[in-house]
Structure formats: structure tokens, C-alpha cells
């Protein structure tokens, strides 16, 4: 490990999850072989989270930690950008408050960047907290309509994701970014607020010519859906809205023209799965649940439409750091496209 391995800042975002945050920070205290700082950004919690951090962790002998207290919930993107701006490290790690890292997590992720100047991102092996024998995410994939999907989600952790290799981008739940990449392309797009934001940042980094390395020994256990809940219609609105915004901002026109086709294929597959009691749509039980889900999707599309002028202006700004031609971006997306059944299993 190089001497620069101490050049790490870990940003942990929190909103009303005091007990989970405590467990997350305790897992950071168990990190071995690396020096680092921690920045906790509290998004206006009302459950005593910030007070707990001050009383328990900001004291001699514990983490080298700074706390940013927001008066309101600014969302995943703006709050993480706050932490990144405050960070002193040349490498920025993100760890969700609902995740716990194995003791070698930081050391292993940092090693992904050694002697690889164009690696801008490192991805963790994220396991399900409730069933650690299953993969939550091992990097990311993306469908050609803009909907991202965790690589390996729901599959057994049986060795198939134990190879160190390049992946599309990391999941923001547990990732590390080179500051030089963030300085070049910018941080999270705050118009996304939450969900799909790590996909937008990751694809933007790839367009700029940076790559992502997956480190299977950098293990994190994640309680999925702790922020808004798996069945939250607000979550579905944001997922649908940000799918459209990502595609409009970053996809080449040759893929954008086909967006409606790919979306219809995925929607039809989801409908068939829901009728069979499978997939995310099945969690919205009964006719009332399906109506709530459909309304959330429509609201997401409407919100995306309202933001399109702003997003298209941002699209024009991409040329200042673009290294991949549109045809190369199209190939990158299609080469990392999951089968449509992955969205309904």
C-alpha cells in the first residue's frame, strides 16, 4: 500500500437513522491498515442522530470525525456534495448509514487506484444485511432506457463475483472516488435529489474517460431500502424521474430515439411479472397498490418533463471533458445492459 493511503475522506450521510448510523460508524472504527477522516452530514434529523455523534464519536480515542448539521433534508446529492467539499482527502469514500463495512474495506478500495491513473472509481462487494449469502450489488449495469440495476442483485455469493475486474461504475452505498475525477467532472447532480444519482455520476465519469475497478474483497453489508422504504411511492417517483433525466443528459441521440421502445419492453415485462406476483411491482399489493405505482410513474415522468430544459443545458456542458465519442458511449451502455428479466425477478 502506498504512503498516500492515508489520503482518504469517508462521507456518511444520515437522516433520522440514529441506531443505523451508530452501527455504521462503529464499523469504520474497526477499519485496519489505513488512516482516514470521517465527515458525517446530518440532513436535519429529528431523532437525536447529530447529538449521538457529538456525544459518542467526537471525543479522544475515537474516529477523526467532523459533523455537518443541516436544518432540513437536502437529499443525497446536495448533502454528499457538502461532505465532498469539506473533505481533505485525495480519495473520497461514501458509505451509507444503513451499511456496515468489513475491517479491510477502506484499505482494499484504496488499493484499486495504485498505479492506475485513469481509475476514477472503485466498487465494493455489497451483500444483503439480512441475507449475507446474497449479493446486493457488485458494481452496476444499466438498461438502454436509463434504468440502472445492481450487478448481481439477488444472486448467491458463491464465488461468481470474486474476481477483481472493471465494471461500469460503483453503487453510491459503498464506493470510492478519486478527487481528481470529481474536480474534473463535478460532484453529484443536485437536481436528482436521490436515486440514480450514482449512476449519473458514474456514467459522466466514464464519458470523461475514467474507469471503475470492482474490488471483491472490499465487503459491505447493506440494509436495502432503509431511506424511504422499498414500497415508498416517493421512491418510485424519484427512480422514474431520474431514469429519464439521466438518459436525457448523458445518452447519445442514437439511444435516446429508442428510449420509448426499451422502456415499453421493460414495462411490459414488469407488468407480466406483477400479475404473477414477482418483481418490485408485486410489492404494491392489489388493484389499489398498482394504481398508486402507476400514478407514481406518471408523476415521475411529469417532473422529468419540467426539468428537461435545465437538463438539456447541462447536456451541452459535457463536451468540456468528453473523451468518449457518442458511439463509444452507446457501446458501453449496450455492453453493460442486463437482461430485462433482471428487473422482474
Distance CA 296, CA 286 (A): 16
Verify that 25 and 168 share a domain, yes or no: yes
Is 0.75 surpassed by the pTM of this model?
yes
Averages of pLDDT over each 10 residues, the chain, 345 residues: 64 97 98 96 97 95 95 95 97 98 98 95 97 96 96 96 98 97 98 96 98 98 70 89 98 96 90 72 72 91 97 96 98 94 75
Residue 287 lies in domain: 233-326
Both 132 and 181 in one domain: the answer is yes
Cα–Cα–Cα angle for 250, 256, 262, nearest 5°? 115
Q: Which of 197, 222, 247 is the last residue of a domain?
A: 222
Domain of residue 58, CATH code: 3.90.550.10
Residue 269 is predicted with a pLDDT of 87
**What is the rounded (10 degree) CA torsion for 119, 121, 122, 126?**
-160
Phi, psi angles (nearest 5°) of residue 49: -60, -50
pLDDT given for residue 228 in this prediction: 54
Indicate whether 213 and 84 sit together in one domain. Answer: yes
Asked whether residue 69 falls in the same domain as residue 208, the answer is yes
Q: State the pLDDT at residue 289.
A: 80
Q: What is the pLDDT of residue 4?
A: 46
Amino acid at each position: 500500500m502506498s504512503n498516500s493511503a492515508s489520503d482518504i475522506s469517508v462521507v456518511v450521510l444520515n437522516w433520522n437513522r440514529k441506531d443505523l448510523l451508530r452501527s455504521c460508524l462503529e464499523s469504520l472504527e474497526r477499519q485496519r491498515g489505513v488512516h482516514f477522516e470521517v465527515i458525517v452530514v446530518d440532513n436535519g434529523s429529528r431523532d437525536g442522530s447529530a447529538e449521538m455523534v457529538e456525544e459518542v464519536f467526537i471525543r479522544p480515542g475515537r474516529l477523526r470525525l467532523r459533523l455537518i448539521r443541516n436544518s432540513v433534508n437536502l437529499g443525497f446529492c446536495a448533502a454528499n456534495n457538502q461532505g465532498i467539499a469539506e473533505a481533505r482527502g485525495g480519495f473520497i469514500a461514501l458509505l451509507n448509514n444503513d451499511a456496515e463495512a468489513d475491517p479491510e474495506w477502506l484499505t482494499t478500495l484504496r488499493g484499486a487506484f495504485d498505479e492506475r491513473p485513469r481509475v476514477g472509481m472503485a466498487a465494493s462487494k455489497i451483500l444483503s444485511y439480512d441475507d449475507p449469502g446474497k449479493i446486493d450489488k457488485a458494481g452496476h449495469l444499466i438498461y438502454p432506457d436509463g434504468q440502472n440495476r445492481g450487478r448481481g442483485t439477488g444472486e448467491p455469493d458463491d464465488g461468481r463475483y470474486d474476481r477483481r475486474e472493471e465494471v461500469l461504475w460503483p453503487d453510491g452505498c459503498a464506493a470510492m472516488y478519486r478527487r481528481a475525477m470529481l474536480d474534473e467532472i463535478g460532484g453529484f447532480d443536485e437536481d436528482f435529489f436521490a436515486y440514480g444519482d450514482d449512476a449519473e455520476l458514474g456514467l459522466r465519469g466514464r464519458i470523461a474517460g475514467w474507469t471503475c475497478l470492482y474490488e471483491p474483497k472490499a465487503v459491505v453489508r447493506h440494509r436495502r431500502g432503509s431511506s424511504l422504504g422499498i414500497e415508498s411511492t416517493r421512491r418510485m417517483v424519484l427512480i422514474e424521474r431520474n431514469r429519464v433525466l439521466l438518459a436525457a443528459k448523458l445518452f447519445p441521440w442514437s439511444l435516446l430515439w429508442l428510449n420509448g421502445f426499451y422502456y415499453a419492453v421493460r414495462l411490459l415485462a414488469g407488468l407480466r411479472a406483477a400479475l404473477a406476483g414477482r418483481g418490485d411491482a408485486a410489492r404494491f399489493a392489489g388493484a389499489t397498490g398498482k394504481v398508486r405505482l402507476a400514478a407514481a410513474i406518471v408523476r415521475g415522468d411529469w417532473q422529468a418533463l419540467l426539468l428537461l430544459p435545465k437538463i438539456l443545458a447541462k447536456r451541452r456542458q459535457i463536451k468540456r471533458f468528453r473523451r468518449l465519442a457518442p458511439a463509444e458511449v452507446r457501446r458501453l451502455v449496450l455492453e453493460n445492459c442486463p437482461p430485462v428479466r433482471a428487473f422482474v425477478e
